[in-house]
A = this chain, B = another copy of it.
């Protein structure tokens, strides 16, 4: 069961009893529920281990609590950058350093080159509405949209917003964003999806240079990955 989950590269947790007569008995669960239970595990313990496992899915790494060992696997996160301008170069470098795999999407081939983005394991010159679904939009995918060009940014948003990705940030001024919301509304994107757009992008650090913009975006992505939503709001 563990091997199958590892191969699927989806997050899962195991909760194992550490001592007593039932030491070593465990269950495994993922975001769809319990997937495996050791034979002989009493119903009350199943309930307890299930709760521990679900708590584990919100953590990273492994820990002990209440005599239970909770072991969590989360796949390597991926950052998809739409648009290969200067801030994207710095963002790719920093994100790789922090442990993200990096994919770059930009139909403007002069921007999206392997020479500019040696950290990217995928570079796509397709438009984002084609490219993003091929890359896979999972709960461990983070998307930063940076082109300032509606012909590229809008198709990215139309496929990213209805997907399970936890982060969709757009580099944009306030007035530009109002026009964007009008266009996407006219294109049929419902308000609850439009609210998922994070803009102004990034944590508030007074970012001015492309490198500082990259820094504030990556800090926001890590905050979204590690904190509960209520705590993230406080950082904006």
Contact = CB atoms under 8 A, between A and B. Distances in A.
Given A90-B97, A97-B93, A227 B205 contact: yes
Contacts of A207: 222, 226
A234 B235 CA distance: 7
Contact of A205 (B206, B208, B209, B226): B226
Interface stretch (A169-177, A190-198, A212-220): A212-220
A94 B204 CA distance: 18
Given A93-B97, A97-B94, A225 B206 contact: yes
Contacts of A226: 205-208, 212
A9 interface: no
A145 interface: no
B60 A211 contact: no
A212 B218 CA distance: 10
Interface in A152-185: none
A223 B226 CA distance: 20
A235 B97 contact: no
Nearest to A222: B205
Nearest to A216: B219
A121 B94 CA distance: 20
A87 to B, nearest CB: 12
Given A97-B211, A212-B98, A206 B234 contact: no
A234 to B, nearest CB: 7
Contacts of A227: 204-206
A215 B60 contact: no
A101 to B, nearest CB: 14
Given A94-B215, A203-B203, A204-B227, 13 more contacts: A61-B208, A90-B97, A90-B98, A93-B97, A94-B94, A98-B215, A204-B234, A205-B226, A205-B235, A206-B222, A207-B222, A207-B226, A216-B222
5 contacts: A94-B94, A205-B219, A205-B223, A205-B227, A208-B226
